Amino acid sequence: MDLNITDEQKALTEAVSGVLARHGNPASNSGVSAEPAAHDPKVWEALVEVGVPALPWSEEDGGVGAGFAELTVAAAEVGKSRIHLPLAETVVAGAIITRTAPDSLRRELIGALAEGSALPVPALDEPMRAWSPTAPTVRAEGSGESWTLTGTKAPVRFAQDATHVVVSADTGSGTGLFLVTDVQAKGESLTFEGTSATLLADGEQAEQALAEALALGGAVLCGEALGAMEEALGRTTEYLRTRKQFGMPLAAFQALTHRAADMYAELELARSAALFAAMVADDDPVDVDAIARCRSVVDRAGKLVGEEAIQMHGGVGVTAEYAVGHLTARLTQIARTWGTPDDRVGELAAAVGGHESISLLG
């Protein structure tokens, strides 16, 4: 096992951070709130040019076949940049497609995603419904090649710019996964009124594909959270060194420096977890619980680092013009994407009786 970053991966991080710095416009620069931002096609296009969205997909499908280790280090740069991009979302949608769509559709869609002409995202959440990957209330009716969907999915991140959505719906005999190409979004809400859809998978196959796809998206989120935490800690230590109160720098106060040390310890544990999640994501089949375990570590680290970063900055930390709070906002959202921290612990708890201990060395 080797958890070190390769030279190629380092070169990739530099390319990605360069692109994000040139084309990105983080919310804090214009002083807008930390509300989840809409899709920014210009940055996405620049990222496509560096090849980032193509990284995890096989060459046969139109990707570059690099894998999740590469995607994770790229995602960390996105996390640092404070720019919201549909990286994890396209991974979930793409992973469902690669697992369930017929060959021609799969190649067409993954190829288009890799070259930036398609933006597929998942539509799984519903209003007033706690997170669950299965048992949706959106109804699917039909058979064979002819299906229609009825009901509402919201919020659906990046729905307004999505070209395709992968929708979970109740087929009457379980959960089905459907592809919708006629995306009519109102904000981040999608209402289906007999909308025609293509069945990708149902029953056990759908549940398995969804679980694996969400784990892969989760691995990408771990990478993004890692970058956001690094940035938040870096800004916080810089602030502690330079900000003066009572005639001395904040770094003179042990009450603060020891908490910064705890942030660092959590960040390093989260780094290990994020890198491991990337390795697990490249396995087939994907160990879904292992990634949930990694996310759980990152959840806790993100909360500590994000909250402490704001606290140690004082009032400026909660202002819209300052970067730190935006990082915290993103970390908060990441931890609630496709389940809450409690949901993940609950899933792991349900499986805890199935093994004596966790073995890392495969």
Partner 1 sequence: MQRRLSEEDAAFQQKMRTYFTDEFPAELKEKGTNRNDLDPQDIRRSQATLAEAGLAAPGWPVQWGGQDWTSLQKFIWDSEMRAAGVPPPLPFNTSMVGPVIAAFGSEELKERFLPKTLSCEIWWCQGFSEPDAGSDLASLRTTAVKDGDHYVVNGQKIWTTLAQHADWIFALVRTDPNAEKKQRGISFLLIDMKSEGITVRPIKTLDGDVEVNEVFFEDVRVPADQLVGEENKGWDYAKFLLGNERVGVANVGLVKKTLADVKAHAREVTRGDGTLLDDPQVAARFARLEADLMALELTVIRVSGGSKDGKPDPASSILKLRGSELQQDVLELAIDVAGPMAASWDDSVVPQWAADAVPTYLNFRKATIYGGSSEVQRSIIATGILGLKG
What are the residues binding partner 1 (CB under 8 A)? Answer: 1-6, 9, 69, 237, 240-241, 248-249, 251-254, 257-258, 260-262, 264-265, 268-273, 275-276, 278-280, 282-283, 293-294, 296-297, 345-346, 348-353, 356-358, 360-362
Distance CA(194)–CA(184), nearest Å, equals: 13
CB of 297 to partner 1, least distance (A): 4
Closest CA to 312 of 325, 329, 326, 299: 325
Alpha carbon of 49 to those of 8, 16, 46, 346, 347: distances in Å?
17, 10, 5, 40, 38
Amino acid at 208: Q
- Chain CA centroid to CA 275, Å: 14
93/275 with CB nearer partner 1: 275
Shortest CB 19 distance to partner 1, Å: 22
Q: Quick one: tokens of 225?
A: 């959270």
> 185 or 297, CB closer to partner 1?
297
- Residue 67 is encoded by which pair of tokens? 């894998």
Could you tell me the smallest distance in angstroms from the CB atom of residue 76 to partner 1?
13
Give the whole-angstrom CA distance, residue 362 versus residue 357.
14
- Shortest Å, Cβ 251 to partner 1: 4
CB of 111: closest distance to partner 1 in angstroms?
A: 27
- Pick between residue 102 and residue 362 the one whose CB is nearest to partner 1: 362
The smaller minimum CB distance to partner 1, of residues 309 and 329, is found at 309
Minimum distance of partner 1 from residue 248's CB (angstroms): 6
Let me know: does 190 contact 136? Beta carbons within 8 Å. Answer: no
* Distance of alpha carbon 288 from alpha carbon 25, whole angstroms: 34
- Nearest residue (CB) to partner 1, 1 versus 130: 1
With H, G, I as helix, E, B as strand and everything else as coil, classify residue 27: helix
In degrees rounded to 5, what are phi and psi of residue 23? Answer: -105, -15
CB nearer partner 1, residue 82 or residue 293: 293
